[in-house]
Chains A and B, each alone.
Chain A
């Protein structure tokens, strides 16, 4: 089973809202990732967790706050987002952090009004 699940599938939020995206995997993977993908562009790395510790933050604005409560779960907390943050947010996991195959979830389509 190479499944990564993400909820919700779609999210619409105002600029003053606080919301969270959730990601889950049960493959025993020890690395988990958040990516942002704009239309017609490749995924852009935001954060990497390795063994539940944040190992890479690609200079992401503080209005995005990741959390890894345990080895199977990854959250992305959103607060005071801007319309330009509207995108597909992808979660991925891999056995270990690089070089290793990353398996992606279906994504959350986020619209900020």
Chain B
């Protein structure tokens, strides 16, 4: 089965700097990757997703990079703001249509003003 891990449980970043949060997965059949942001006391909020036929996707201030060769996924946040402070989860599934999302352990991002 799939296992998903994050390299760092916590990350502290100065306001205005860029943040990079990493995620590794184990199943080479993994096909769909999602990043969620979870603020304290709230449910996970969808940020951005990417499918395995792409290696980069950009949103507003966020970029997801996918390296299928080493089974690695990253989330880059540009010009990090205090409102970006939260726990970030990557979630992974395959294209079979019957495999639920597997969540990574999460990275807590703290933005220092």
A residues bordering B, Cβ < 8 Å?
2, 4, 6, 33, 40-43, 45, 48, 55-56, 90, 92, 96-107, 109
Contacts and interface: CB of A to CB of B under 8 A. Distances in A.
Interface of B: 31-32, 34, 36, 41-46, 49, 51, 89, 91, 93-101, 103-106
Q: Please give me the 5 A-B residue pairs with the lowest Cβ-Cβ distance, nearest first.
A: A99-B32, A42-B103, A104-B43, A99-B93, A104-B44
Contacts of A4: 43
Contact of B93 (A6, A40, A98): A98
Nearest to A48: B100
Given A98-B100, A99-B32, A101-B34, A42 B42 contact: no
Nearest to B49: A101
A56 B97 CA distance: 13
B46 A2 contact: yes
B59 to A, nearest CB: 13
Q: Interface on chain A toward B: helix, strand, loop, or mixed SS?
A: loop
Given A43-B103, A99-B32, A101-B34, A107 B97 contact: no
B43 A101 contact: no
A99 B42 contact: no
Contacts of A48: 100
A98 B32 CA distance: 9
A3 to B, nearest CB: 11
Contacts of B31: 99
A99 B44 contact: no
B101 A98 contact: yes
16 contacts: A6-B43, A40-B106, A42-B89, A43-B103, A56-B100, A92-B43, A97-B97, A97-B100, A98-B93, A98-B97, A99-B99, A102-B46, A102-B91, A104-B36, A104-B43, A106-B42
